[in-house]
Structure 1
Amino acid sequence: MLGQGDADASDCMNDILAQVATKTESNKNAGNAILYECVETIMSIEDNGGLRVLAINILGRFLSNRDNNIRYVALNMLMKAMTVDAQAVQRHRATILECVKDSDASIRKRALELLYLLVNENNVKPLTKELIEYLEVSDQEFKGDLTAKICSIVEKFSPEKFWYIDQMLKVLSEAGNFVKDEVWHALIVVISNASDLHGYTVRALYRAFQTSAEQETLVRVAVWCIGEYGDLLVNNVGMLNIEEPVTVTESDAVDVVEVAIKRHTSDLTTKAMALVALLKLSSRFPSCSERIRDIIVQHKGSLVLELQQRSIEFNSIFEKHQNIRSALVERMPVLDEATFSGRRAGSVPGAVSTSSGASLNLPNGVAKPAAAPIADLLDLSSDDAPAPSSSGGDFLQDLLGIDLLPTPAATGASQTPKAAADVLLDLLSIGTPTTGQSNLSTADILSSSQDNKILLANLDGLSSPSLSAQAALPATSAPVLDLLDGFAPSPKKQEVNGTAYPSIVAYESSSLKIAFNFAKSPGNPQTTLIQATFTNLSPNVYTDFLFQAAVPKFLQLHLDPASSNSLPATGNGSITQSLSVTNSQHGKKSLIMRIRIAYKINGKDVLEEGQINNFPREL
């Protein structure tokens, strides 16, 4: 405490700390206690490189102690030391790796966390090799943590695609049942992009399937690859020097998929993927077409609707659409790695499945409910959605970082029963709202004007403005949170004769400028009419242009459709869009808005986000 932030005091302590650190005996607990305090002091006072290395070496000796408590304390201290001198900690990597294999669960877990921090591009290969070897003999309860860390290390530091695929196949073979969905989804994306490794990968998966068919995620990836690249497997295309030749007939390849679909342990996702793979193989292997059809037809009476529907539809392709079957099941286009990685990180609009089933972003995936478009707009993944509460969740307050006063209606309201048709609330994962928050029903949203259908369609990522779901729900009075007020039925156009307000530049980046013009309706000071003008500052034309906005609860927002979805380059034209904002706290709180702009440049998705705080106060 005396040395922290005081360079002179720290300098005076250096000699005595060095003497204590070098002369104290560590064969008794009292000595270890003094050494520990000495290390903590060295780490807390002002920087002295030599002393810090000495302190980290003392912690390295602690790791070799037979006492579990001393080792655990040393691992904790080394975690802190990583931020100060990572290179000195690296010297004790081998000892830390041995701690990962310790019999004590707490030490294993903490050592694994520390080792994860030590991995870099230079040591990733030997460390991954050691961890995968230990994975083979590790306890079942530790396999989950170990598998997650190995997968993360491989994905983060992989030097090339061949090594990445090779290591992931080893993990799938040893602990496939512990691999999370997003991990094997990412593996499929990488495989689809590694065109020169398709043959090697499908052969490696075929071999792995023979010995590790009980690993669910291995079976899924194997089934997908055999469906896509079964012809490469049978014809030994793309053989590498390190491979042993393998003889696989068309019938052998079909056998693998049939085993996957008939295993009693296979879940719905695996069986659904297997049915798609069989349909693809029926085109790639004409000699096995009738056998494949027999396997598919067996599921026409399945009690699982997903499998029954696929079976009936695929059989219809056999019976009535032979002329288009080969085009229908041709090889998947290459999956865009950048887009998929962005979606996992939450930087590109799109649904990311975190369920136990297959993701909609990936081929042959079983359909799951898409991630909520509003949650996506607000950068909230389904995992991060707030827990249901009596107030319906104030996550906009947290998002915008502003102090929202509870409205009387919200604070005094009692919880309403959940309506059967309250689909949007389920989709948003925000629990049951309170009475008095909004008089807008789900049916209102789905039966509103064409403008709102276009907006909902855009938010859902649909290419067409039609909204087929509007007839699917009965009209109910289930209320929706104020978050959705932007989708309310279009208010009647009001005549604008009110006070003029100065225009503002609401948002500006190197590529885009947004200007807001304001007007008020006579006799309605709470409502502000905004004309947004979007200008493209770059030399590229923006296509599929989409503007989205979110406001806190005391505001209600309505967006009209934009004048165009194509924005000309270098300011040679603009897009305009009308908004109206009603401020229930007019005169007390200023307007504030979170925005997201999505567009495409030469087919590539681009996303810009920002927050508008510079509205005129009198609005």
Structure 2
Amino acid sequence: MSSGGGYRGLQNFINEIRQCQSKEGERARIDKELANIRTKFKSDRGLSSYEKKKYIWKLLYIYVLGYDVEFGHMEAVALISSTKFSEKQVGYIAASVLLHENLEFVRLVINTMQKDLVSRDENYQCMALTAIANMGGREFAEALSGEVLKLLISSSTRNVVRKKAALCVLRLFRRNPDIISSDTFALKMGNLLQERDLGVLISSMSLLCGIVAKDSQGYEVVVPKVVAVLERVAKGIDIPQDYTYYGIPSPWLHVKCLRVLHYFPVIENDGVWTKLQEILRRTISSAPIDKNTNKNNALHAILFESISLMMHLNMDSEVLWQCVTLLGKFVSIKEPNIRYLGLENMSRLSLVPEMMQTIKAHQEQIVVSLNDPDISVRRRALDLLFRVCDRDNSHEIVDKLLAYLTTADFAIREELALKIAILSEKFASSLQWYVDVIISLIDKAGDHVSDQVWFRVVQIVTNNEELQAHCASNVLRKLQDGSSHETMLKLSAYVLGEFGQLLRGEAREIFHLLKDRLGSATPAAKGLILSAFAKILVRCGDEDISQQIRETFQRYGTIPDAELQQRSVEYAVLSAKKEAATVMATMPKFPERESSLLKMMQPEGGEGSLPAARSRAGVDAAGDALPAAASGDLLGLDDAIEAAPVVPLSVAEPAAAAPQGDPLDLLAGLSVAEPTPAADAAQASVAAAADPFGGFQDLTAPQDAGGEGANARVEGGTVEGWYSKLCISEKGVLYQDQYLQIGLKADYAKAQGRIMLFLGNKHEEELGQVQISVPPVPAYRIQPGQVPASIAAKAQVQIPIAVSCVEPTLDVPKLQVVYRVKGDAVKLDLQVRRLKPATS
């Protein structure tokens, strides 16, 4: 805005705006000025060069104040075409700020920019490059990338222009990666890295980092050049004073070189590898802690990027051991930023098995960080403790986390409770210790403990008779101490109802403790308490207690809650029958199943499987399309359906690939409607009769017949047959032809259904224009999640769908799937199981 220094009218306008006493006054003054400028632009009298620039500057000032500027764009574009430098400068600045790539008349400036790029005036070239980088979209990339690349590569171009050209190419590449091919550009990039000017070198390294972050294949030839630049900077060879920061030679270029090397998995040249190792070792061995904060920041940026690169390159354990020792010093520093970075990088190093013992030596200091005032540091310390926990130190860490739980910030209590539950189960020295830890966890943080945790305790205690009396005694003690949290109450009601008889002479105490909490309990907890009363009534010989329980059933038999009313009435009637003792016997053992909590510990291809830099660049290992599985199951649909959780009804987003596990796992294990083995066998026999091949046994794509058209033909069954099976099963094939296979996994609960569709491309080519639509069925509300536009060859995507039935109907929910293959469109009309209406 300094160019406005000679515009008296502009200065007066700015002063008037600053002197406004209210927002309304400012708005009125701006509206008045906008009306005046609009009138001037529409006037038949031509404006002078001074007036054009003055009014454009005023519009720019109004825009940066946050007000909409809906005119003046064409006048700014016209200034760009001027032959006067002052007018062109104002035009380019205004266009860079006011215009964006989606405006149609932006195309009008492309020709002018092209002329400025090929001109001999470096000022014009710099202004054009800056504007292109700010405005450029795909159309700019296609039209101007050639000229920009020429400026970057040409040795006759001034360095100030080449710096801007490199960053401009990076912007255009991000909008349209096709403008650069590794076949032709890799060698040119290598030449750019031999530049002696550090400004050009830093810009070129930024460009290289952006390119290899997307795809490093073909750029292996630049690795020796990058290491040579790194050596030059690390040794301070030929570094101008202008690029020295607090005595550190160009730390920005140093970090960029290290970051680029993250994208290359292997360095094959022995000489280059030896040189790089030497540089990294020197960085680790000479990492002082300075009192100057700015210098420290630069040193730490280099150090932490070097550590990350060492991990990526799998350097020897001795070097990594030095890294851990150095990070241990950072963890003990009071400065929160340094402590955070130390904990973060120590977490990365914990992924290396050989480093675990060395990191555990700093366990006490990590625990101290749990009390840091900065919540980011506390979170990082918690993550690191979670990583370093094993069977040797699990008791110590879990005890410290339980003690910390009572003072922990509410923002991390849920995460902390989950981590305690996982660690106590994974590294339990005995089941009794595990049960005691979880009961203590529920007592201290019941609000933050998920139902899966107490479900798991019930499952383990039920399956292990030696724990039953101990667990019952433990929860009874908690109730006697005054614990009344809902989760603890539900666990206590279940355990004491099932195993309370093992505590001799405690029936009266159990009854009164539960009864005192019945009135204030939630409906879910009340249901479990009533169930516990029913079992006490059948097993207890105390007539006084029995009479009080019957009165409780009678009272709750008339309340508005249908669930509790039904329980009370049925328990009252059942307790009077001679079969009551048999019906109310202790629950049988649950089938052995993997804990859903431990499934969270399974590797998911996240941190550790990708270099830190790749994660930083936003390259996600899990996308909409799953990679092809082993040859026996090209689509991996069987495993995907087994592993995928059903998305909640409130979610209407694309599902992440390869989910960790089914969150309904433990719920299924504890459901009162859990099928008996006989029922399972009966259902399995029905399914086997309907599908002798077991549903998902053959998922491989058939061989395409030569000369075959794109007409889809149903394979492996019939649509009606698949639908019939899905009426009695919650997972299976919904549709299959020679191009596409659709699998379904669902969870139905009365009027609501949560469905996950698995669309697998069996074809050797991409399936395009994929759509899922919902034909109107008045009785149903169907909400499909986001659908990808295409499915890659031999890939699979997952689509969540929420279904609810809002009124009685004989209709079934319907879906319409459309895709295009070999130029032809295929439309599928499918249906899923009918739901019970919400009003029934």
Letter in 2 for 1:48: D
Are the counterparts in 2 of residues 181 and 354 from structure 1 also a CA contact under 8 Å?
Answer: no
Whole-angstrom distance in 2 between the partners of 1:128 and 1:305? 42
Q: Which runs of structure 2 are paired with 1:479-498 in the superposition (5 Å)?
A: 479-480=814-815
Q: Residue deviations 1:483-542, cap 9 Å, x none?
A: xxxxxxxxxxxxxxxxxxxxxxxxxxxxxxxxxxxxxxxxxxxxxxxxxxxxxxxxxxxx
Aligned residue in 2 for 1:318: 575
Distance 2:556 2:271 in 1: 80
* Helix, strand or coil at the partner of 2:429: coil
Report % sequence identity.
Answer: 21
Q: Check whether the contact 2:443–2:478 (CA below 8 A) recurs between aligned residues.
A: yes
> What amino acid sits opposite 2:499 in the alignment?
Y
Counterpart residue number, 1:283: 538
CA contact (8 A) 1:260 1:274 kept: no
Q: What CA distance in whole angstroms lies between the structure 1 residues aligned with 2:445 and 2:373?
A: 20
Counterpart Cα distance in 2 of 1:193 and 1:400? 47
Write out per-residue CA displacement over residues 517-575 of structure 1, whole angstroms, 9 at most, x where no aligned residue. xxxxxxxxxxxxxxxxxxxxxxxxxxxxxxxxxxxx77xxxxxxxxxxxxxxxxxxxxx
AA matched with 2:527: A
Residue 83 of structure 1: how far off its partner (Å)? 2.6
Task: Identify which of 146, 149, 163 aligns with 2:433.
Answer: 163
Tell me the TM-score normalised to structure 1 length: 0.59
Deviation at 1:299, TM superposition (A): 0.9
Aligned residue pairs total 418
Which of residues 811, 835, 839 is equivalent to 1:476? 811
Q: Could you tell me which residue of structure 1 aligns to residue 588 of structure 2?
A: 333
2:485 equivalent in structure 1: 215
Aligned to 2:399: 129
CA offsets 1:99-124 (integer angstroms, 9 cap, x no match): 22322111111221122111112211
Matched position secondary structure for 2:436: helix
Q: Does 1:96 align with 2:366?
A: yes
Change over 3 Å in CA distance of 1:349–1:106 after alignment to 2: closer
Write the distance in 1 (CA, Å) between the matches of 2:764 and 2:562: 45
2:372 aligned counterpart, secondary structure: coil
Q: 1:329 to 1:400 in 2, by over 3 A?
A: farther
Q: Distance in 1 between matches of 2:563 and 2:598?
A: 26
For residue 37 of structure 1, what is the aligned residue in structure 2?
Answer: 302
Give the match's secondary structure for 2:769: coil
Compared with structure 1, are the counterparts of its residues 114 and 24 closer, same or farther at alpha carbon in structure 2 (3 Å cutoff)? closer
Q: Is residue 128–residue 150 contact of structure 1 (8 Å, CA) maintained in 2? A: yes
- The AA in structure 1 aligned to 2:405 is L
> Which residue matches 2:631?
none
SS of 1:175's equivalent in the other structure is helix
Q: Which residue of 2 aligns with 1:406?
A: 769
Q: Which amino acid aligns with 1:479?
A: K
After superposition, the Cα gap between the structure-2 partners of 1:37 and 1:315, relative to the gap in structure 1 and judged at 3 Å, is: same
Higher Rg: 2
Aligned pairs (5 A) from 1:435-514: 473-476=808-811, 478-480=813-815
Is residue 2:460 matched to residue 1:187?
A: no
Native 8 Å contact 1:359 1:366 kept in 2: no
- 2:139 pairs with 1:139: no
Tell me the equivalent position of 1:267: 522
**1:206 alignment partner in structure 2:** 476
**Structure 1 contact 230–284 (Cα < 8 Å) conserved:** no
Tell me if the contact between 1:224 and 1:277 (Cα under 8 Å) persists in the aligned partners: yes
The 1-side partners of 2:362 and 2:765 are apart by 46
State the SS of the aligned residue for 1:221.
Answer: helix
Task: Give the distance between the partners of 2:594 and 2:305, measured in 1 at CA.
Answer: 45
Q: When the two structures are superposed, what TM-score results if normalisation uses the length of structure 2?
A: 0.44
1:68 — aligned with what?
336
Is the 1:269–1:365 Cα contact (8 Å) retained in structure 2? Answer: no
Q: Distance in 2 between matches of 1:259 and 1:399?
A: 61
**1:33 Cα offset (Å):** 3.1
Aligned 8 A contact 2:779 2:808 in 1: no
Quickly say closer, same or farther: Cα 1:419–1:231, change in 2 above 3 A.
Answer: same
Residues 344/292 of structure 1: CA separation in 2 closer, same or farther (3 Å cut) = farther
- Which residue of 301, 322, 337 maps to 2:558? 301
Quick one: distance in 2 between partners of 1:270 and 1:93? 40
Return the structure number with greater helix share.
2
Residue equivalent to 2:467 = 197
**Do 2:775 and 2:815's aligned partners in 1 also have CA atoms closer than 8 Å?**
no
Q: Distance in 1 between matches of 2:449 and 2:730?
A: 29
Does residue 362 of the first structure (1) align with residue 670 of the second (2)?
Answer: yes
Judge conservation of contact 1:14–1:51 (CA < 8 Å) in 2: no
One-letter amino acid matched to 2:299: I
Describe the superposition over 1:71-125 as per-residue Cα deviations: whole angstroms up to 9, x where unpaired. Answer: 1222222222223333433322222222223221111112211221111122111
For residues 86 and 117 of structure 1, the distance between their equivalents in structure 2, rounded to whole angstroms, comes to 9
User: 1:380/1:125 Cα in 2 relative to 1: closer, same or farther (>3 Å)?
Assistant: farther
Letter matched to residue 335 of structure 1: F
- How far the C-alpha of 1:291 sits from its partner, in A, is 1.4
Deviations 1:305-361 (A, max 9, x none): 111111121122235x2x111111011111223366699788599999958x99353
1:346-361 map, 5 Å: 347=642, 359-361=667-669
Where do 5+ consecutive residues of structure 2 fail to align? 1-225, 228-257, 601-640, 647-660, 676-725, 734-742, 788-806, 827-840
> Post-superposition shift, 1:22?
3.9
Contact 1:283 1:326 in 2 (8 A): yes
Residue 420 of structure 1 pairs with residue 783 of structure 2: no
Cα deviations across residues 213-252 of structure 1 (Å, max 9, x unaligned)?
Answer: 23211111111111011111235xxxxxxxxxxxx3x211
Q: Higher relative contact order by CA 8 Å / sep ≥ 6: 1 or 2?
A: 1
Q: Any conservation in 1 of the 2:744–2:757 contact (CA below 8 Å)?
A: no
CA distance in 2, matches of 1:204, 1:223: 12
Where does 1:76-91 land on structure 2 (aligned, <5 Å)? 76-84=344-352, 85-91=355-361
Distance in 1 between residues matched to 2:489 and 2:765, nearest whole Å: 49
> Residue 504 of structure 2 aligns to a residue in which SS?
helix
Tell me what 2:320 maps to: 52
Classify 1:37/1:146 alpha carbon distance in 2 versus 1 (closer, same or farther; 3 Å).
same
CA-atom RMSD, angstroms? 4.2
Task: Label 1:102 to 1:318 Cα distance change in 2 as closer, same or farther (>3 A).
Answer: same
Measure, in 1, the Cα distance between the counterparts of 2:423 and 2:763: 34
Deviation at 1:380, TM superposition (A): 5.5
Offset of residue 139 of structure 1: 2.7
